[in-house]
């Protein structure tokens, strides 16, 4: 016997047994249980019509086949197909398949079932591996997933559907960016405190809500923290844009940072980095942003908005500790909070509640002292600054204002010199004006280019636009540096006017408002002398204490 013959003799073939089917089982399997899956991706009238037609078509399609029985039409309306996580009906259908309620799923096409190759193959294989297996029939492609030849075709067609989604996403993104470049921004007002949209589609001010917005900005500049402002609004029974009675500090900060309140719109603050899961992230140098000025009526002035941004930045830097010397938290409980610093070690001066005794009676009083000897900065030693009574600080400041009122001309001369030192030189002013013109010209070229009818794949268009945007950014950096210097001069000028106005109407007692609006910071020395640095660029030193 040959080797081949020996091997053949060792193989024993066991024929399959014919499985007997019980009568009751036969009756149950005479009709296949069919599920239909339908999806449209938008909620437009046209898509809504398509949605209804699909439901009607497949209901009739299944009912006409005597071997089928319709389990249910699973339908997701107005939902994108690039991800399955928000498609509740789809997920319910998969679960019903796992529960043994469905034998076959019928759907229009692969792109309706899933535009994500990974998801498509995952769910098809999951259904195929059930016991008994559940098949999916794609009408457009004429594919049955229980057919052994379908796997390769499904992979290819699913990849094509995913690429179609990517292409649609890129084209949509391009169209949106083009509208931004033309100064057209989508600005819904449904839950936008302070604004409504009229019948013509124009954004208009809601005066009742706008008063709340102005109050928030005003109180923040007066020294109140976001949480304190939120508590005040709740105490007064003021509702949020959504009609809720609860305000939070984060909600207040979002309002304070919203440039739309001075009539501008900054487009593309966040971007979608993955067209499959639609994940959005803050746009930190990922794509260009588009700033549209005078887009709609303003509730507050740009000047007030910028003042708030500076105050937000100042308070944030307290926590950030940029110099690595100390860390402090913002407090708006007292006018001197976050304004006083130790003249010896430079650290913050903090408020203390102390007990004093006079004629055998104890009473509490407030005092201010460097936080090092108080024990609030345990990692630093070597400062023994003494405390001063809060009432003495208040009297010191009030008396200093009286002296400044009596020497008004001297105050004005010193402040005007500080303003002149900050003012742009003739050469800088000329360059500033030149940059302003160049920026306007580049911006106009970008807008003109964006208004032309060019395809999203036009290489020359993309290259030219990128070059112009880069040029705009370079010009803006130099322009902003000169603008900051110019605004420093205007800042001094504005606060000189504020100080002079208060000097003309000086109250007899200490005013929280005057101190907050006129003083930048105070330096408290160990010899109980305090230097007040005013926002108009001048400083005054005076003994404090008794």
Q: Where are the domains of the chain?
A: 23-166, 195-315, 390-543
Strand ranges in 163-276 using DSSP code E only, listed in sequence order: 195-197, 203-205, 265-267, 270-272
Contacts of 271 (CB under 8 A, 6+ apart): 280, 281, 283, 286, 287
Provide the token pair at 53: 């037609």
pLDDT tens string 7-27? 445 555 555 443 332 333 334
pLDDT of residue 11: 59
What is the mean pLDDT of the segment spanning 531-546?
A: 90
Tell me the DSSP string of 113-170: H-S-HHHHHHHHHHHHTSSS--EEEETTTTEETTSTTHHHHHHHHHHHHHHHHHHHHH
CATH homologous superfamily of domain 23-166? Resolvase, N-terminal catalytic domain (3.40.50.1390)
Pairing state between β 349-358 and 340-342: unpaired
Higher pLDDT, 266 or 192: 192
What is the mean pLDDT of the segment spanning 65-84?
A: 75
Q: Does residue 484 surpass a pLDDT of 70?
A: yes
pLDDT of residue 480: 86
- Distance from C-alpha of 275 to C-alpha of 539, rounded to nearest angstrom: 57
pLDDT of residue 200: 84
Count the helix, strand and coil residues of the chain and give each as a percent rounded to the nearest 5. 50, 15, 35
pLDDT of residue 178: 64
Residue percentage of the chain with pLDDT more than 90 = 29
Yes or no: say if 150 and 125 are a contact pair by the CB < 8 Å rule: no
The fold adopted by the segment(s) 195-315 is: Hect, E3 ligase catalytic domain fold (3.90.1750)
Yes or no: say if 255 and 213 are a contact pair by the CB < 8 Å rule: yes
Q: Does residue 80 surpass a pLDDT of 70?
A: no
Identify the band that residue 407 occupies on the pLDDT scale cut at 50, 70 and 90.
very high
- Distance from C-alpha of 263 to C-alpha of 311, rounded to nearest angstrom: 20
Q: CA distances (Å), 124 to each of 108, 114, 443, in order? A: 15, 10, 51
DSSP H or E segment with residue 232: helix 226-235
Tell me the DSSP string of 419-449: HHHHSPPHHHHHHHHHHHHHHHHHHHHHHHH
- What pTM value is reported for the model? 0.55
Average pLDDT over the chain reads: 80
Contacts of 383 (CB under 8 A, 6+ apart): 342, 344, 345, 347, 370, 372, 373
pLDDT tens string 130-168? 989 999 998 887 888 887 667 666 666 556 655 665 666
Give the closest residue to 61 by CA, choosing from 84, 36, 40.
Answer: 36
pLDDT of residue 518: 92
For 75-101, letters b (16+ CB in 10 Å) and e give bbbebbbbbbeebebbeebbebbeeee
pLDDT of residue 391: 93
Instruction: Report DSSP state, residue 348.
Output: B
Phi, psi of 537 (to 5 degrees): 100, 5
For 261-298, letters b (16+ CB in 10 Å) and e give bbbbbbbbeeeeeebbeeeeeebeeeebebebeebbeb
Instruction: Report DSSP state, residue 382.
Output: -
What is the mean pLDDT of the segment spanning 513-518?
A: 90
DSSP H or E segment with residue 524: strand 519-524
**What are the beta bridge partners of residue 290?**
267
- Distance from C-alpha of 167 to C-alpha of 176, rounded to nearest angstrom: 14
Yes or no: say if 377 and 407 are a contact pair by the CB < 8 Å rule: no
Residues shown for the chain: 546
């Amino acid at each position: 016997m040959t080797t081949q013959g020996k091997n053949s003799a060792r193989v024993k073939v066991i024929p399959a047994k014919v499985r007997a089917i019980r009568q009751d089982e036969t009756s149950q399997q005479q009709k296949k249980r069919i599920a239909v899956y339908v999806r449209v991706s938008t909620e437009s009238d046209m898509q809504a019509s398509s949605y209804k037609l699909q439901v009607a078509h497949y209901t009739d399609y299944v009912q006409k086949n005597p071997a089928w029985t319709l389990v249910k039409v699973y339908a997701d309306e107005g939902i994108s197909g690039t991800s399955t996580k928000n498609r509740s009906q789809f997920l319910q259908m998969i679960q019903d398949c796992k529960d043994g309620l469905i034998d076959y799923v019928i759907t229009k096409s692969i792109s309706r079932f899933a535009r994500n190759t990974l998801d498509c193959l995952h769910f098809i294989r999951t259904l195929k591996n059930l016991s008994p297996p559940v098949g999916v029939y794609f009408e457009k492609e004429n594919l049955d997933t229980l057919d052994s030849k379908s796997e390769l075709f499904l992979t290819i067609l699913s990849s094509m559907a995913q690429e179609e989604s990517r292409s649609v996403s890129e084209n949509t993104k391009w169209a949106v960016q083009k509208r931004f470049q033309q100064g057209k921004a989508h600005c819904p007002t449904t839950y936008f405190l302070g604004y409504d949209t009229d019948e013509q589609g124009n954004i208009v001010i809601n005066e009742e809500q706008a008063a709340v917005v102005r109050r928030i900005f005003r109180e923040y500049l007066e020294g109140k923290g976001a949480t304190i402002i939120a508590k005040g609004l709740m105490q007064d029974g003021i509702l949020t844009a959504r009609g809720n009675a609860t305000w939070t500090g984060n909600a207040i900060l979002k309002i304070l940072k919203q440039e739309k309140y001075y009539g501008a719109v900054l487009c593309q603050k966040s971007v979608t980095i993955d067209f499959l899961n639609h994940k959005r992230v803050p746009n930190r140098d990922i794509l260009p942003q588009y700033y549209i000025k005078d887009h709609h009526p303003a509730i507050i002035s740009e000047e007030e908005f910028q003042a708030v941004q500076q105050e937000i930045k100042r308070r944030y830097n307290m926590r950030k500790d940029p110099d690595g010397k100390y860390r402090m938290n913002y407090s708006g409980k007292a006018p001197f909070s976050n304004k006083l610093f130790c003249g010896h070690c430079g650290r913050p001066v903090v408020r203390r509640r102390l007990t004093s005794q006079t004629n055998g009676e104890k009473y509490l009083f407030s005092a201010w002292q460097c936080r090092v000897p108080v024990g609030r900065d345990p990692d630093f030693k070597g400062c023994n600054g003494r405390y001063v009574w809060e009432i003495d600080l208040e009297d010191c400041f009030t008396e200093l204002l009286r002296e400044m009122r009596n020497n008004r001309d001297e105050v004005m001369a010193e402040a005007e010199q500080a303003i002149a030192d900050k003012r742009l030189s003739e050469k800088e002013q000329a360059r500033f004006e030149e940059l302003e013109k160049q920026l306007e010209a580049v911006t106009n070229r970008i807008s003109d280019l964006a208004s032309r009818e060019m395809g999203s794949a036009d290489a020359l268009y993309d290259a030219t636009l990128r070059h112009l945007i880069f040029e705009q950014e370079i010009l803006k950096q130099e322009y902003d540096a000169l603008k900051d210097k110019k605004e420093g001069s205007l800042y001094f000028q504005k606060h000189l006017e504020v100080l002079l106005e208060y000097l003309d109407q000086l109250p007899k007692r200490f005013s929280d408002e005057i101190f907050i609006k006129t003083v930048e910071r105070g330096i408290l020395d160990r010899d109980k002398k305090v230097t007040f640095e005013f926002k108009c660029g001048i400083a005054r030193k005076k003994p404090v204490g008794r």
